[in-house]
Amino acid sequence: MADKVLMKGNEAIAEAAIIAGCRHYFGYPITPQTEVAAYMAKKMPKIGGCFLQAESEIAAINMVYGVSSTGKRVMTSSSSPGISLKSEGLSYLAGADLPALVVNVQRGGPGLGGIQPSQSDYFQATRGGGHGDFHMIVLAPASVQEMAELTVKGFELADTYRMTSMILADGTMGQMMEPVSLDFDIKEAPEKPWATTGTKMQREHNIVNSLYLSPEKLEETNFERYEKYKYIEENEAMYEEYMVEDADIVVAAFGIAARVSKNAVNEARSRGIKVGLIRPITLWPFPTLPFKKAAEHAKQFISVELSMGQMIEDVKLATDCKVPVTLCNRVGGMIPSPEQVLEAIMEADGGVK
Amino acid sequence: MAVVFQKPHSLIDVPLHYCPGCTHGIVHRLVAEVIDELGIEGRTIGIAPVGCSVMAYDYFNCDMIEAAHGRAPAVATGVKRSDPENNVVFTYQGDGDLASIGMAETVHAAARNENITVIFINNAIYGMTGGQMAPTSLPGQVTQTSPYGRDVNHCGYPVKVCEMLSELEGPEYLERVTVNNVKQVRNAKKAIKKAFQNQLDGKGFSLVEVISSCPTNWGMTPQAALKWIDEKMIPYYPLGCYKDRSAEKEAE
């Protein structure tokens, strides 16, 4: 067991990316994720990597597109308003079936919003994040350890499925410090015969492209991509269940909201309330299975979010609206307190009885 | 029998989709000839734009990438930085792509002296979408979106890319050429070759602006369009070398 080091969440992402073999990072400063760029700026030149501060988020994601076209592991990171700018590139990455890792350390919105933590980019991340039919694999860390682990996992999934993995963190995860173990078993990246690395005059030319003027052909690429998505939905969903087995009330929460909720669940349990927590770790694919299972015995779900209620729609979909789902939330950079979540549990408990 | 003329290997032998009289075909051929002559096809990666030359990826035999509108220099930056010792990277962009929606990417790639080659087709119009006003449309020029002629009081003046970029410390080489007669085609090829050679020599950002014709959207015959280049375009966009940092250094 390797020693643990005390790191900020943003730094853990950067170090884990380097460990995962990422040698190219492009970004643009924006709070609260700038530590990722700062870490890369310091480290990359010393390990033969490339850190480049782009002129814009748009340029950064297109530099990512360029490196990814050549088959190398590459990433960018930003925060909410910057991710909106990157959404054009996210769509092109999807259309060209290119792997990439994109980090969103969310802040409050809409517009310039604020710089405090938020989860209000859930829709943007899980519904694709740009024009056209597509998905990204969306990973939601709830600790600094997971910031690192899911970064490694994100690169692996991106390469396996030739698509973007997004780390959907929030300002709290990015800024807080925790001990983290960086002892990872890195799998070798798959062969990338599609990469534009130069023909060496030994093969037909490769083309990285998302343009199909024939509607039949374009439809076919969409169908193929959604076959892949279906496989991912069936095989890659990740979640944590906490005291769900006998629960009358099930709290759904990810990231920082899940940590707050766990405290509330513990407190409610000590008061004799049968409550549990389902924490989605992948937001896309959404882990529908534990929700379906829990809906068989639970009488109420509570979605705890740092948004006006976005994940709640997936909870309702996953449970086929069989059980009422209520929302417990704060927004604009505010975080629900354990007391607020406890109150929502108590209220539900009153309703359950 | 000695071969005296043949198609360049790095240009795929398929019919191009360009309109009759369009000069894209000439410039494609020049780029391909240069790639052949320098023997770099196997390590060249081309970046196609959005616009008339969007399907350039079907014409060049080297590896090709299709970029989002205006983002080719950023994509090229990524490709170049992925393997700077071996990759040869060029972008092929029109005026709307390079000088309007992609202006930031153009200026900053030049400012960084990114070691890439940029082929810039300036025909003063948006061709692919059917003839709208471009950032380089001339004052008074009639287009679909300037039906009464480009009114500089309303929508400002054309962008002179070479002149503008030449003010930057960064770029290595900026030259404006045209291809409306044999002599000019030869000059254009020289400039394009130099722009690729600069990259091989590690000298940095090299851009060749090619004043081109668009008979279809200018509403002219191909011959009249070539004449219009001489009469209208070149007076506004004078040909010549706007920056050659290595030559300047040698002269000092």
User: C-alpha angle with apex B91: A209 to B13, nearest 5 degrees?
Assistant: 70
CB contact under 8 A, A207 and B64: yes
The reply to whether A176 touches chain B by the CB within 8 Å rule is no
- Kindly state whether residue B3 falls inside one of the protein's structural domains: no
A222 with A314, same domain: the answer is: no
CB contact under 8 A, B68 and A92: yes
A273 with A158, same domain: the answer is: no
Do the Cβ atoms of B65 and A208 come closer than 8 Å? yes
- Kindly state whether residue B2 falls inside one of the protein's structural domains: no
Looking up residue A33, the CATH number of its domain turns out to be: 3.40.50.970
- Kindly state whether residue B16 falls inside one of the protein's structural domains: no
A90 with A212, same domain: the answer is: yes
A226 with A267, same domain: the answer is: no
pLDDT of residue A296: 97
Do the Cβ atoms of A123 and A236 come closer than 8 Å? no
pLDDT of residue B18: 97
Q: Which domain holds residue A316?
A: 240-352
Terminal-residue alpha carbon distance, chain A = 47
- Kindly state whether residue B12 falls inside one of the protein's structural domains: no
A131 with A95, same domain: the answer is: yes
Sign of CA dihedral B9, B12, B14, B17: negative
HSE-CB for A5 with a 13 A CA cutoff:
11
Q: What is the rounded CA–CA span in Å between residue B24 and residue B236?
A: 21
Q: What is the rounded CA–CA span in Å between residue A330 and residue A307?
A: 6
Give me the interface pTM, i.e. the ipTM.
0.97
Collapsing DSSP to helix, strand or coil, B65 comes out as strand
- Kindly state whether residue B223 falls inside one of the protein's structural domains: yes
Q: In the predicted model, is pLDDT for residue B248 greater than 70?
A: yes
Q: Tell me how many domains chain B contains.
A: 1
Residue B252 banded pLDDT, cuts 50, 70, 90: confident
Q: Which chain A residue lies closest to B76 (C-alpha atoms)?
A: A66
A96 with A109, same domain: the answer is: yes
- Which residue among B55, B66, B88 places its CB closest to the CB of A210? B66
Q: What is the rounded CA–CA span in Å between residue A75 and residue A13?
A: 11
User: C-alpha angle with apex B58: B54 to B59, nearest 5 degrees?
Assistant: 100
A81 with A220, same domain: the answer is: yes
Residues from chain B contacting residue A68 (CB–CB below 8 Å): 78
CB contact under 8 A, A198 and B77: no
Looking up residue A315, the CATH number of its domain turns out to be: 3.40.50.920
Tell me the pLDDT of chain B averaged across its residues.
97
pLDDT tens per residue, range B153-206: 999 999 999 999 999 999 999 999 999 999 999 999 999 999 999 999 999 999
CB contact under 8 A, B81 and A69: no
User: C-alpha angle with apex A53: B54 to A46, nearest 5 degrees?
Assistant: 120
Q: Which domain holds residue B78?
A: 24-251
A158 with A87, same domain: the answer is: yes
pLDDT of residue A128: 87
A106 with A150, same domain: the answer is: yes
A68 with A163, same domain: the answer is: yes
CB contact under 8 A, A24 and B57: no
- To probe the interface with B, which of A56, A70, A90 has the most B CB atoms within 10 Å? A70
The reply to whether A196 touches chain B by the CB within 8 Å rule is yes
Percent of chain B whose predicted confidence (pLDDT) is above 90: 96
- Helix (H), strand (E) at residue B45: strand B44-48
Residues from chain A contacting residue B44 (CB–CB below 8 Å): 198
Strands A50-53 and A24-27: parallel
Burial profile A3-23: b = 16 or more Cβ within 10 angstroms, e = fewer:
eeeebbbbbbbbbbbbbbbbb
pLDDT tens per residue, range B48-107: 999 999 999 999 999 999 999 999 999 999 999 999 999 999 999 999 999 999 999 999
Helices (H), A20-96: 34-43, 57-69, 80-95
Collapsing DSSP to helix, strand or coil, A158 comes out as helix
- Kindly state whether residue B15 falls inside one of the protein's structural domains: no
How many beta carbons lie within 10 A of that of residue B241, not counting itself?
15
- For chain B, the residues whose C-beta falls within 8 A of a C-beta of chain A are 41-45, 47, 54-55, 57-58, 60-68, 71, 74-83, 86-88, 104-105, 107-108
* Nearest residue to A317 via CA among A297, A285, A292: A292
Tokens 């530099």 found at: A63
The residues near A146 (Cβ < 8 Å, ≥ 6 apart) are A281
Radius of gyration from C-alpha coordinates of chain A: 21
* Per-residue tens of pLDDT for chain A, all 353 residues: 568 999 999 999 999 999 999 999 999 999 999 999 999 999 999 999 999 999 999 999 999 999 999 999 999 999 999 999 999 999 999 999 999 999 999 999 999 999 999 999 999 999 988 999 999 999 999 999 999 999 999 999 999 999 999 999 999 999 999 999 999 999 989 999 999 999 999 999 999 999 999 999 999 999 999 999 999 999 999 999 999 999 999 999 999 999 999 999 999 999 999 999 999 999 999 999 999 999 999 999 999 999 999 999 999 999 999 999 999 999 999 999 999 999 999 999 987 66
Across the strands, what pairs with A100? Answer: A164
pLDDT tens per residue, range B131-153: 999 999 999 999 999 999 999 99
A145 with A80, same domain: the answer is: yes
Tokens 């991710």 found at: A83
* Nearest residue to A100 via CA among A141, A55, A156: A156
Q: Tell me how many domains chain A contains.
A: 2
- To probe the interface with A, which of B59, B66, B82 has the most A CB atoms within 10 Å? B82
Per-window interface: A 201-230 vs B, CB < 8 A = 201-202, 205-211
CA-based nearest distance B192→chain A, Å: 20
Looking up residue B116, the CATH number of its domain turns out to be: 3.40.50.970
